[in-house]
Amino acid sequence: DAGVIQSPRHEVTEMGQEVTLRCKPISGHNSLFWYRQTMMRGLELLIYFNNNVPIDDSGMPEDRFSAKMPNASFSTLKIQPSEPRDSAVYFCASSKTSGVYNEQFFGPGTRLTVL
Amino acid sequence: AQKITQTQPGMFVQEKEAVTLDCTYDTSDPSYGLFWYKQPSSGEMIFLIYQGSYDQQNATEGRYSLNFQKARKSANLVISASQLGDSAMYFCAMREGGNNQGGKLIFGQGTELSVKP
């Protein structure tokens, strides 16, 4: 079975540009999470969806960040305009609430560098 | 507010020996789950083990076991018979709410484990 798929794996962009990160969760999973990992702040949740509906977006830094989940198999995280402090690894994870542990399966991450 | 604390930024262990990675948590929710993830240098996050707040027994998964002390609010990870491939960053995480609820994970800062040959 395919795991969580994220694209691109690496992104280098210049300040002010729009960045779109993509995620395909594991088939059958009904929860999707976007996390950000930095040295300073560690791993922190940005937003999560349950059955394609945003449940908690309290971790979204500011209006420059937006996330969508138009269907059960696709989600995007957009940053517009990007800033150097947005440089981080962005992880997408998915889980299913009917699972034994309801553990989250993580994608490989997207390493974003904003110059 | 929920919180996860990992007090060991780095740990060393000799190959084939056991090692304990510490994790304490704080929550007011009586129902919660505790997770350990491994992050090798390649960057992916790998789920290792889970302990539910109502579980009577400590969780075990192969060489991994969880020393769950509810009164102390600790959930230490024990790795037995360490292998070179265990060298990685280890994260403790907590989710409030029951197992049938999707919910965010709150992560600790991580412990970097180095296994010496």
Instruction: Give per-residue pLDDT as tens, A39-89.
Output: 999 999 999 999 999 998 989 988 999 999 999 999 999 999 999 999 999
Our CA-based measurement puts residue A107 at a distance from the nearest CA of chain B, in whole angstroms, of 7
pLDDT of residue B13: 97
Q: Do B108 and A42 touch (CB under 8 A)?
A: yes
User: Do B49 and B64 contact (CB within 8 A), yes or no?
Assistant: yes
- How far is residue B94 from each of residues A62, A110, B24, B98, measured CA to CA in Å? 25, 23, 10, 11
User: Do A106 and A92 contact (CB within 8 A), yes or no?
Assistant: yes
3-state SS, residue A65: strand
A28 touches chain B (CB under 8 A): no
User: Do B92 and B6 contact (CB within 8 A), yes or no?
Assistant: yes
Residues of chain A contacting B100 with CB distance shorter than 8 Å: 97-98, 102
Say if residue A12's pLDDT is above 60. Answer: yes
Beta strand B10-14 with B111-116: parallel, antiparallel or unpaired? parallel
Question: What is the pLDDT confidence band of residue B51, given thresholds at 50, 70 and 90?
Answer: very high
Q: Which of B90, B82, B75 is nearest to B40 (CA)?
A: B90
Read off φ and ψ for residue A84, nearest 5 degrees: -55, -35
| Closest residue to A31, CB basis, from B37, B102, B109 | B102
Give the Cα separation of B30 and B110 in Å (integer): 24
Residues of chain A contacting B95 with CB distance shorter than 8 Å: 102
Q: Do A97 and B101 touch (CB under 8 A)?
A: yes
| Closest residue to A42, CB basis, from B44, B50, B109 | B109
Say if residue B101's pLDDT is above 70. Answer: no
Please name the amino acid found at residue A44.
E
A5 touches chain B (CB under 8 A): no
| Closest residue to B102, CB basis, from A95, A100, A106 | A95
Best residue of A4, A43, A58 to probe chain B, by most B CBs closer than 10 Å: A43
Give the Cα separation of A101 and A48 in Å (integer): 18
pLDDT of residue B100: 55
Residues of chain A contacting B44 with CB distance shorter than 8 Å: 106, 108-109
pLDDT of residue A3: 94
Say if residue B113's pLDDT is above 70. Answer: yes
Compute how many other C-beta atoms are within 10 angstroms of the C-beta atom of residue A48. 25
